Amino acid sequence: MKLGARMLKTGLAVAIALYITNFIGLPSATYAAIAAAFAIQPNIHRSFQTVLEQIYANVIGVSIGTFAAFSLGNDPIVIGFITIIIILICAYFKMSEDTIALAIIAVLAVMETTDTALLQFAGGRFGSLMIGILAAFIVNMIFLQPKYEIRLFKNIDQVTSDIIQWLRISTRHLDDDPALKGEITRLRGDFRFLDQTYLLFSEERVYLRKSRIQRMRKLVLLRQMISTSRQSLETLQAFHEYDYKIETIPKEFQQVLVDELDKIIYAHERLLLSAMGRIRKQPTKSIEDITDPNIPNLVETLIQVYEEDDKERMALLPLASRLMEYHREIMHLQTLLNSYQHYHEYNNFDFKKKRRRIMP
């Protein structure tokens, strides 16, 4: 298990909230710590988005909780009913789950007592919760800013490498069926993680116009990298599903299929290496002739293999479609990468950290 930046920030925010609450002398510093733990966000943009929402939820929870404690008391059934009301109100305003949890905590904190000093008691609880929210906001703003760009590209590179390795194995009929099924399931989970990381990176804000334009191009390029890698996974899935049918086609065509897929795999790898600035931007013509795939011709040949048997010919059309889609995504990625490198020649995605498993 890895100790991540968000864990460290949560612990730091809790400690700061406790110190401030104890220094001021407010009661129940524990509530400040709980609020700080719930208020931590993964990036600055979400901190700005949620801080006002969290303050509103705190105000709503304390206000309704105080009114209910005055008028109805603090019987467990009353507290449960008020909790339902709070959830409905927060859901109506489309607040996040963490914010709803803060509002519920505010209600529970206030409805502990029905003493005559309820307003003072509620004010103390409100202050403690506000300190927790603000402590988390300050920690989000100042400490351990996440580098989602580096993390995202590193994970794209790792996932793509894993898929390509399995493609090379499966096309040569060397794969273990249960192991490949498990890897495909794991890789689909990795793509969900990639999409989440991409969303967090896209939420970061850049205020200089020149940097903003570069970042927009980078976002488009990274989105296409994910799309291309996802298509490579779909190709792997197709080869896994049609493995037994591929073994029935003529041996010479099986070799052509392997050779052409190797070329398209190499083209994919070449684009990622080019994005990292590790190979020439303009390879020699002889290298291009050797490595550039001819997928449209391969698909035509694949269809002609069963020219006399319409039923068998249709059976491999899904595989042909996957190959065409994979080739199309790679061509689009090449166009975007060439455009990006034309405008930002020295801004590569290089990183030098050791590879690791990306899923928690």
Sign of CA dihedral 202, 208, 213, 214: negative
Q: Are residues 81 and 162 in the same domain?
A: no
Residue 56, in any domain of the structure:
yes
Read off the DSSP letter of residue 117: T
Which pLDDT band holds residue 31 (cuts at 50, 70, 90)? confident
pLDDT at position 214 over 90: no
Residue 165 falls within a domain, yes or no? Answer: yes
Is-contact 298 257, C-beta < 8 A? yes
DSSP element (H, E) containing 62: helix 44-72
- Same structural domain, 32 and 158: no
Domain residues for the domain of 322 are 148-343
Statement to judge: residues 131 and 212 lie in one domain: no
Same domain for 25 and 99: yes
In-domain check, residue 19:
yes
CA 342 to chain centroid, in Å, comes to 28
- 179 with 133, same domain? no
* Domain final residue, candidates 142, 170, 200: 142
Residue 295 has what pLDDT?
66
Q: If you average pLDDT over every residue of the chain, what do you get?
A: 81
Which domain-ending residue is among 122, 142, 162?
A: 142
Instruction: Give yes or no: residues 104 and 165 share one domain.
Output: no
Does a structural domain hold residue 360?
no
Closest CA to 181 of 233, 121, 127: 233
- In this structure, is residue 223 part of a structural domain? yes
Q: What pLDDT digit, counting tens, does each position of 154-165 carry?
A: 999 999 999 999
The region that residue 4 occupies, defined by phi over 0 for left and psi between -120 and 50 for alpha, beta otherwise, is beta
Please tell me the total count of domains within the chain: 2
pTM recorded for the entire structure: 0.73
CATH number at residue 284: 1.20.58
157 in the same domain as 303: yes
Query: Are residues 17 and 84 both part of a single domain?
Result: yes
pLDDT band at 144 (very low <50, low <70, confident <90, very high): low
CA distance 295 to 256: 11
pLDDT of 1 > 50? The answer is: no
